[in-house]
Amino acid sequence: MLSKNKQKFILSLSRKKTREQNGMFVAEGTKLVTDLLQSSCNPKTLIATDDWLNNNQAVTGKVDELISATTEELKKVSTLKSPPSVIGIFEQKQIKYSINSLSNQLCLLLDEVQDPGNLGTIVRLADWFGIEHVFCSLNCADIYNPKTIQSTMGAISRVNLHYVDPIKFLTAYKALKLPVYGTFLDGTNIYKQTLSNQGLIVMGNEGKGISKEVENFVDQRLFIPSFPADIPTSESLNVSVATAITCAEFRRQAK
């Protein structure tokens, strides 16, 4: 049975302050919860229907607390339109990195990406394109926001996400002597550039793009052209769509 105190606690984790105080986050749905259970994420509590618990005993062994709940009880604490069969509470990942460890990798830096759905989608894209580290400026959306977690579709279990002061990070990153790329409306056609399989790709804010302070660190300004070039079109692309196109071109050239 799902107690009122437990219901209250689960609902409180929709607030960033409570998530940070407890070092926990909520995941909903079989696909997402199963991915997290099979990863290095540390599960604290699972609330699920009896059917789900009976059919998923193989992945629930390391969970501290298992709670059987009805669909109606799950509905009361779910953020989804249709209540899931399982909700999990997990510890937030504690990940460290060193600048030198990034020397042979392609990484992403997000400059004030503020929409939770965009951030979650970009983490999912990083997972797809084999990008191990995503760095976020301090004003980016919270990765543990329930909407962000849902948007990652489990990729948060495989991608390392770090919140950093972008100027301090870029200053240290420059010591690696690797290229820093950024996407701009006045950049050079990405399809006519030679792209490295090592370096940093900067993606900017949904409305303002890359900030002037961060722009100063960019070596190569990239532009994703519309088609055909001489026909009026949308002013810009959604940041997660632009990230997908950019990462795809980097990986295409790596073959």
Is the pLDDT confidence value at 255 over 70? no
Share of the chain above pLDDT 70, in %: 99
> How confident is the model over 12-38, as a mean pLDDT?
95
Q: Where are the domains of the chain?
A: 4-91, 99-254
pTM: 0.92
Does residue 135 or residue 157 have the better pLDDT? 135
Q: What average pLDDT does range 177-200 have in this prediction?
A: 95
Side-chain half-sphere CA neighbours of 43 within 13 A: 26
Find the DSSP H helices in the chain.
4-12, 16-22, 30-37, 50-55, 71-77, 116-128, 146-152, 166-173, 212-215, 239-254
Q: State CA 20 to chain mean position distance.
A: 17
- Most confident region among 37-51, 159-173, 223-237 by mean pLDDT: 159-173
Q: Among 89-103, 167-181, 222-236, which stretch is predicted with the lowest mean pLDDT? A: 222-236
**Most confident of the following: 28-42, 71-85, 166-180:** 166-180
Whole-number pLDDT of residue 1: 77
pLDDT, mean over the chain? 94
Contact 46, 33 (CB under 8 A): yes
* pLDDT above 80 (res 234): no
**For the domain 4-91, what is the CATH code?**
3.30.1330.30
pLDDT surpasses 90 at 163: yes
Q: Which CATH architecture has domain 99-254?
A: 3-Layer(aba) Sandwich (3.40)
180: nearest Cα among 191, 166, 192, 163: 166
pLDDT digits (tens, 9 = 90+) for 98-107: 999 999 999 9
pLDDT in tens, 41-57: 899 999 999 999 999 99
Q: Which amino acid is at 250?
A: F
Mean pLDDT, rounded, for 85-97: 93
**Residues linked to residue 220 through DSSP beta bridges, in sequence order:** 181
Confidence band of 216 (pLDDT split at 50, 70, 90)? very high
- Give the pLDDT of residue 66: 95
237 against 171, higher pLDDT: 171
Looking at residue 254, its pLDDT comes to 83
pLDDT digits (tens, 9 = 90+) for 17-27: 999 999 999 99
HSE toward the beta carbon, residue 117, CA cutoff 13 A: 3
Q: State what percent of residues in the chain have pLDDT above 90.
A: 85
